[in-house]
């Protein structure tokens, strides 16, 4: 069994986004286009519990970020620009354009939500509405890092170490790394469907996956902060309606004030905590749908 079993009546495509990179997408449903982006250390399979309800109203484009899943995993460069959120956002814009969607909504979690944030800033005309799950803005989180956050999100500081140290340690036992990272969150491994968990394990064991996710984090600790600071200096703010949701039992709730932080960088923000931890779409799918469906269905 594989991810296809989690998404019946879907089709899979590899979309060329330039520079020898392809993005793996799964397409299902009908209606207004909705791009869904996953986080670390997962794949588009995170959406399997909410996809059926969303597919009744939207054309879903479920993508694997570059460096993750079955998308390309290019070698990183000295400045980590190949994995900057600007580059990853451009990937997704090109995906949606290639599929004929000039304007679309975005629902994104964790690392994918950071890509979605950059996409909505850099390509404002393309993004209609935006839902970001369990993050505060990257710049705010780094600037406010304290002991409690550093202990809970230790992987932020492990993965940015120079190559190949973290890659070598992850590749020694990718399943153990994945289960440790995901299983130490508030809900443990209980929320994850066995087929979804097997898909995450399969994907992380692919050649280049460890390097891809490390480069993602290295970019966030460097070039992405430069881009975010430039936005702040220019006074750039998200103009799209933004729904920010986070886990009541998670680290973002405990260490930050996410709604306040999003209000600093966006003009039209609403949201709050849901009764779960970090992996919202798998831990609390019904609560997520209750918030997302009316927000995305608005004109």
Q: Catalytic residue positions?
A: 110, 278
DSSP 106-146: EEEETHHHHHHHHHHHHTTTTEEEEEEES---HHHHHHT--
Cβ–Cβ under 8 Å, residues 127 and 64: no
Cβ–Cβ under 8 Å, residues 252 and 134: yes
| CA 139 distance to own-chain centroid | 16
Phi, psi for 135 (deg, rounded to 5): -140, 155
Cβ–Cβ under 8 Å, residues 200 and 41: yes
| Ramachandran sector of residue 2 (left: φ over 0; alpha: ψ -120 to 50; beta: rest) | beta
**How many residues does this entry show for the chain?**
299
Task: Please give the C-alpha separations between residue 69 and each of 3, 127, 133, 170, 172, in angstroms, as whole numbers.
Answer: 11, 24, 20, 15, 18
Cβ–Cβ under 8 Å, residues 191 and 279: yes
- Residue 206 is classified by DSSP as S
Beta bridge partners of 12: 26
Distance CA 200, CA 170 (A): 14
Which residue is associated with the tokens 């839902």?
Answer: 131
């Amino acid at each position: 069994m594989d991810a296809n079993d989690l998404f019946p009546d879907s089709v899979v495509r590899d979309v060329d986004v330039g520079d020898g990179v392809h993005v793996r997408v799964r397409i299902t449903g009908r209606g207004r286009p909705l791009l869904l982006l996953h986080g670390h250390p997962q794949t588009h399979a995170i959406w399997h519990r909410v996809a059926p309800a969303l597919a009744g109203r939207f054309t879903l484009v479920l993508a694997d970020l570059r460096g993750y899943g079955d998308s390309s995993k290019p070698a990183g460069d000295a400045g980590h620009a190949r994995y900057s959120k600007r580059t990853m956002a451009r990937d997704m814009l090109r995906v949606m354009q290639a599929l004929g969607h000039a304007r679309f909504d975005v629902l994104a979690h964790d690392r994918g939500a950071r890509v979605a944030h950059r996409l909505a800033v850099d390509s404002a005309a393309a993004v209609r509405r935006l839902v970001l799950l369990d993050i505060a803005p990257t710049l705010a989180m780094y600037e406010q890092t304290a002991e409690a956050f550093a202990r809970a999100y230790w992987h932020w500081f492990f993965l940015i170490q120079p190559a190949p140290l973290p890659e070598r340690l992850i590749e020694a036992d990718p399943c153990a790394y994945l289960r440790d990272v995901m299983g130490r969150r508030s809900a443990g491994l209980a929320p994850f469907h066995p087929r979804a968990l097997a898909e995450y394990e399969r994907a992380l064991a692919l050649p280049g996956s460890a390097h891809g996710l490390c480069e993602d984090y290295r970019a966030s600790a460097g070039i992405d902060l430069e881009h975010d600071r430039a936005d702040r200096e220019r006074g750039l703010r998200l103009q799209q309606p933004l729904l920010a949701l986070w886990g009541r039992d998670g680290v973002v709730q405990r260490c930050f004030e996410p709604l306040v932080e999003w209000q600093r960088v966006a003009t039209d923000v609403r949201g709050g905590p849901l009764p779960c931890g970090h992996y919202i779409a798998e831990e609390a799918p019904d609560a997520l749908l209750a918030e997302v469906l009316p927000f995305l269905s608005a004109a």
